[in-house]
Amino acid sequence: MTGKVRDSEPVEVRIHGIGSEGAGVGRLPDGRAVFVHRTAPGDRVLLDLEREAPRWARGRLLEILEEGEGRRIPPCPHYARCGGCTLEHLEYTAQLDFKQQMVLDALRRIGKIEGAPAVEIHPSPREFRYRNKVTFTLKRLGDGGVVAGFHELDAPGFIVDIGGNCLLPEEPIAEVWEALRGAWGQGADRLPGARQLRITLRGTRSGRVLLLVTGGSDPGRSASLLSASDRLDAIWWAPSGTSAAPRLVAGQARIEEVWYGERVEIRPDAFLQVNREAATLLHDLVLREVGAPRGLRIVDAYCGSGVYGRRLAAHGAEAVGIELDPGAAAMARERPVEGFRIVEGPVERHLDDFLPADRLILNPPRTGVHRDVTKTLQRAGPERVVYVSCDPATLARDLARLGGEYSVARLQLFDLFPQTAHVETVATLAR
């Protein structure tokens, strides 16, 4: 049930936690959970009930009557309305405490796992200005004006106009974004024609920036924007609503940089972690958890472009990567490494073909691993599994499906997305 909207009298609530979407959680007088954005544990607040269901409700913050510990004045001037961040009103240490508790709660509540090891926390090296890729929405208004930014927190149909003072993008991206806003003209007439566009900026380690415009017609109109900033190296365009590959409109066709010890091509649509410094810490940790690779048979499942399998093969392992996405699999094949091969297709279809193995890396999307994968592991899984999860709930579900076949030997939390409720967890499992 999605709940119903109704008018209500203000309600006083004590916030006792934070939910998986970053909203504070309290209890209404009738016992239902209520979710209220921009609140923190320990807050006593006055709120309006905006949406109600039999077991929960959503509220809108009216007033903070008493502040809990860990609260701060949000540094970003857009935070009151913008949905790009959800935890900026918390000190960074309080954000990490919440994420640690979120992982443990999911393991206990969903996975029914008691006695899990302590969660080791790896903070992001940068609390702000950490994103090397940012996507904004541009909407043309009926009066000829333009708004461009992030969706509004409680009204996603509206766009909060965001300039270069947003604290999420790396500095070069923020600089280019500000320059583009000043150069795209009245009604953004130097961009492709459409009521709404997606504007993606991706930055490189050296401070160069690529622009991808998604949607609209006549993409050549944006070519002149290449001169908007001397940091802007390429402009790409892709149609909306299709899987068509982007096409180059202006600038350099090929840009490379080093990721995880290898040179990779930087394209606006390629998957790379948005927090490059924290991602490097995560990558190195996963390799350490796998252990000395020489002579081992290793499966890198949901491998993307094969960054783990390729690196392990280069150090003496016999590694197989399994990846469903054709584009990522093609990237993995571009630079062959002796001892590593890529298999394209669903992990649940191919995993059994490469077992028994000595080690298994699981790095699935937010939906977690397929049920058939856990069944295969129950029957023929390796002694050690390193599971990289971007959703504590699906991690906990998958661990529960493994039954008693594996124990959690180590839990490590990586904060790749400060100011948001997202968290990356590495669970090392021993058979």
Catalytic positions: 390
The CB density around residue 428, as the number of other CB atoms within 10 Å, is: 21
Q: Which residue has the tokens 């999420």?
A: 168
**Cis before 356? omega within 30:** yes
Q: Which residue has the tokens 């929960």?
A: 56
Report the candidate in 173, 153, 157 with the shortest Cα–Cα distance to residue 165: 173
Separation of alpha carbons 111 and 104, rounded Å: 10
Separation of alpha carbons 138 and 215, rounded Å: 10
Report the candidate in 418, 396, 420, 424 with the shortest Cα–Cα distance to residue 408: 396
**Helix, strand, coil distribution of the chain in percent, nearest 5:** 25, 35, 45
Separation of alpha carbons 279 and 260, rounded Å: 9
8-state DSSP, 60: E
Strand, helix or coil at 389?
Answer: strand
* Cβ density class 398-415: b for 16+ within 10 Å, e for less: bbebbeeebebebbbbbb
Torsion over CA of 334, 340, 346 and 350, rounded to 10 degrees? 150
**Structure tokens of 151?**
């969706």
What residues have CB less than 8 Å from 47, skipping those under 6 apart?
10, 11, 12, 13, 34, 36, 59, 60, 61, 62
**245 burial via Cβ count (<10 Å: 0-12, 13-18, 19+):** exposed
Q: What are the C-alpha distances in Å from 90 to residues 67, 140, 200, 267? A: 11, 34, 28, 34
CB 392 within 8 A of CB 423: yes
φ/ψ bin of 2: left (φ > 0), alpha (ψ from -120 to 50), beta (otherwise): alpha
Sign of the CA dihedral 231, 237, 238, 240?
Answer: positive
Q: Which residue has the tokens 């958890």?
A: 289
